[in-house]
A and B are shown apart, each in its own frame.
Chain A
Amino acid sequence: MVTQYGIKYAVHLITTHFGDLVAKVCECLLRRGPLTLQALVKFTELSSSQVKNSLLVLIQHNCVQAFLPEPGDHGDADKLNTQYIVLFDNIIHRWRFPKFLNIVSEKLDEQCVKLLEGLLQHGRLTLKQMSDRDRARLDQKEGEDVILDATRANLIKLLNARFVERCPAAEPVLAKPTEEESSARKRGPKSAKILEENETLEHRVMDAAAPSEALRFLLVTQTESAADGGLDESNTSSLKAGVKRKSDALESETESGAADEQVLLWRANFEEFMRRLRHEACIVNLRARLDDGAVIVLRAMLEATRSAEKKVKTEHSVPLSLNSIYEEVIKSVEGRNITFDRVRASLVQLSCPPFVKAINESYSIDFKKIIELAQSDEVESVVLKRYGSDACKMFRLLSNTGRFVETDKIADSTLIEKKETPMVLYKLWKDDYLHMEKLQLTGTRQSHFLLWKVKKNTIREHVLDEMFHAALNLNLRLAYEVEQEKELLSLSQDNRDKRLRKVKLLSQSQMKLDDAIMIFHDF
């Protein structure tokens, strides 16, 4: 879901990171959908080389992907030229780099963090480039090979944890859409059409560009390609992909390992980071509702099923038996003392309301439900703060029932004074939080009734757009405060402390707001 303010926010990010020219090209792609180089030149009124350079920057930073539409797909000659599609999510992810680095620092050592930092900073790098960076950073005395080996070992660690992946193909040929995809594109209101079509197209392009699952996390080293197919766990990233992996690996062995190190590009695997952040968000949400035991069990289940997840927005985790959950629980530090019965009891707790679903003695996490709850929390909190507790109660009632309810019935169910109810509902309706319909009845004394309803999808979109707007505002305000700070260097210590506190509060709020945006946009 890309909203109008989402676009403004993304353009603002690109402007601050890469300047106005790149931002102009990026905005053009965000608003008009995929374009060829010629079309971009026409629309942006920039020179061809300016557009080209901007595109190169955007591609280097994984914000744009080039592709070739399948020949013969359309008669239009223009369509046969390379097109460029902007990857909105990857632009927004740029805000999350500190969060990504944090995840790595919790799991791996400092060297790996540095390696990832380089990748985030430069978008894409070869092993050789990474090692050159390490050499510049580390003690110069070490030999080139020693450092290359160390860099390689760190890269393998990152690959094994799936924090880094092979870059997608530079310019894949797009296959025809499957029937399912094209029918999906036809649905939906007209206004959202461009944005929606882009999303399905984006999936197709990214699918076409993605390296095979087996190659994605595989680094074939020089020594291996020389030796006869000996894949050794210690210096090759391991994969559970099975047979497919073997054939892919063999294929890649025909490439020269040495050349690989010079040309193969690597980048941060945003998907894995987003998955971990999503899991973390689930835990945070659950912690507000249930006790520690339940949280430990959920964490263990997430740990055990993470690698089986195919996409970030997975609805259910793969089912686990009680025994395997218990095994996983006692692996963790906090879970070491937990008894089998406690785990069983926690699972009961987790299944009402159903955060975890039990099917035939196996348990599966209902991500969709947990995320929906987190979204509701956020929206209700806004309603509470903006319109007060009575309004929030009414909103929750309507949001829980999910259908039309009449004014008096709302007053009865919420135990709120009848004559106050319509006023509160009206306020919510005016700001688009409620949907209202008049019901005209002929013959009875009261001739019309008002019916109210919460349309969850509309609200979600509305709130997300406002959140993007707020994120943009936070950024602008922060930039403004920092600017002020420069001018006020001559200030007294006291005033400077105040400034610092302001900036700190603003930056913290940015990160927190981004957590909420993820819940609505990415999860």
Chain B
Amino acid sequence: MSRFQGANALKRKRPGSASDALTDHDQAVLDVIRSKQDMGIYQRDIKREIHIKNGINLPDPAITKCLKSLVTKNLIKEVKNIQSRGKKHFISVDFEPSNEITGGAFYNEGSLDTEMIAQLRRLCWNHINGLQIATLEAVTEYINRTKVPKVQLSKQETAELIGALILDNEVMEVKSSGTGEFASIPVGKVCYKCISKRAHGAEPKVGAFASIPCGVCPRISYCTPDGIISPKTCVYYNKWLDF
């Protein structure tokens, strides 16, 4: 079969199949997208893939047209890829996009869902605080029961939420000693505990250095006793001492 005929053959419609109204070009594009399963593919890369697979060069406008028709027929969908949100990325409707594409449970439309994260963090904190000592399993189960996350959270994902609370110094990681408050938890298991005396979301106590102007001053390296910027003429001090 000559290359010319091949290209023609692709153009011909396939009667009687499920993708009834698909042109051969549509089909070729759909095949490529399906073959990528839950990873999907960038629009830009489709051309190259078709060339490798079918040995033909489809011009860009033709591909755009195919994509449009496939989307209309509800065979593929466009998804936001967190890696590069500007580029068009397609996936077959037969698959749910993988976490690598969507970013996982904490992403919505390719960007971090900060509102939901804040809500989930509060839930985590409340639960740990209520239990006093909590295991990862207990928190995960609780969070999923609340149905706040749009998909079920894995233990890994809950651990990420708690990790962020730890980095905010609201929760700490402790190892079970098996006695006292840990009585119901096996020895050596990692658990979580709220840092007492700190309410969720409250500002931490400001350190001595950070509570004076120089501690937060962006110009400290230019400031000298008799220079243009000096403590005597300092505007930050003026403001601070202006009762």
Contacts and interface: CB of A to CB of B under 8 A. Distances in A.
A353 B169 CA distance: 13
B214 A474 contact: yes
Interface in B71-114: 82, 106, 111-112, 114
B1 interface: no
Contact of B214 (A381, A417, A418, A470): A470
A378 interface: yes
A424 B241 CA distance: 31
Contacts of A486: none
Contact of A393 (B167, B174, B180, B207): B167
Contact of B112 (A290, A377, A384, A417): A417
6 closest Cβ pairs, A-B complex: A381-B207, A470-B214, A473-B231, A516-B208, A381-B210, A512-B208
Contacts of B175: 352
B214 A352 contact: no
Interface in B203-243: 204-212, 214-216, 218, 220, 223, 225, 230-232, 234, 237, 241, 243
A381 B230 CA distance: 24
A474 B82 CA distance: 48
Given A382-B215, A386-B216, A472 B225 contact: yes
B172 A353 contact: yes
Given A396-B167, A415-B112, A470-B220, 15 more contacts: A288-B205, A289-B196, A353-B172, A378-B207, A378-B208, A381-B205, A385-B215, A393-B167, A400-B167, A469-B214, A472-B225, A476-B225, A476-B230, A513-B212, A515-B208
Contact of A470 (B177, B212, B243): B212
Nearest to A516: B208
A207 interface: no
B178 to A, nearest CB: 10
A480 B195 contact: no
B208 A382 contact: no
A382 B207 contact: yes
Give the interface size bracket for B toward A.
35 or more
B39 to A, nearest CB: 14
Interface of A: 288-291, 345, 348, 351-353, 377-378, 380-382, 384-386, 389, 393, 396-397, 400, 412-418, 463, 466-467, 469-470, 472-474, 476-477, 480-481, 498, 501-502, 505-506, 509, 512-513, 515-516
Contact of B231 (A289, A380, A381, A476): A476
A377 B207 contact: yes
Given A378-B207, A473-B231, A480-B231, A417 B212 contact: no
A417 B111 contact: yes
Contacts of B237: 477
Contact of B160 (A382, A386, A413): A413
Interface in B163-218: 163-164, 167-169, 172, 174-175, 177, 179-181, 195-197, 204-212, 214-216, 218
Contacts of B223: 469, 473
Contacts of A513: 208-209, 212
B153 interface: no
A352 B167 contact: no
B163 A348 contact: no
Contacts of B56: none
25 contacts: A351-B177, A352-B174, A378-B210, A380-B207, A381-B210, A382-B209, A385-B215, A389-B168, A393-B167, A397-B167, A413-B160, A415-B106, A415-B117, A415-B160, A417-B112, A417-B114, A466-B209, A466-B214, A466-B215, A467-B215, A470-B212, A470-B214, A470-B220, A474-B214, A505-B241
B161 interface: yes
Nearest to B118: A415
Interface in B138-176: 160-161, 163-164, 167-169, 172, 174-175
A44 to B, nearest CB: 21
A516 B207 contact: yes
A369 to B, nearest CB: 14
- Count chain A CB atoms within 10 A of each CB in B180, B220, B231, B232 and give the residue with the most: B231
Nearest to B241: A502
Would you call the interface of chain A mostly helix, strand, loop, or mixed?
A: helix
Q: Which of B206, B209, B210, B212 has the most CB of A within 10 A?
A: B209
Nearest to A289: B195
Nearest to B240: A505
Nearest to A473: B231
A290 B194 CA distance: 11
A385 B195 contact: no
A92 to B, nearest CB: 16
Contacts of B218: 386
A463 B161 contact: no
B164 A393 contact: yes
Contacts of B106: 415
Nearest to B172: A353
A467 B217 CA distance: 12
Contacts of B204: 380-381, 384
A177 B30 CA distance: 81
A506 B238 CA distance: 12
Contacts of B112: 415-418
Residue with the greatest number of chain A CB neighbours at <10 A, chosen from B117, B168, B210: B210
Contacts of B117: 415
B164 A381 contact: no
Contacts of B220: 466, 469-470
Given A352-B177, A413-B160, A417-B112, A393 B210 contact: no
A396 B168 CA distance: 8
Contact of A289 (B179, B197, B207): B197
B180 A348 contact: yes
B197 A502 contact: no
Nearest to A446: B83
Contacts of A418: 82, 112
**Among B204, B212, B223, which residue has the most Cβ atoms of chain A within 10 A?**
B212
Nearest to B176: A352
Contacts of A466: 209, 214-215, 220
A480 B234 CA distance: 12
A358 to B, nearest CB: 10
B215 A470 contact: yes
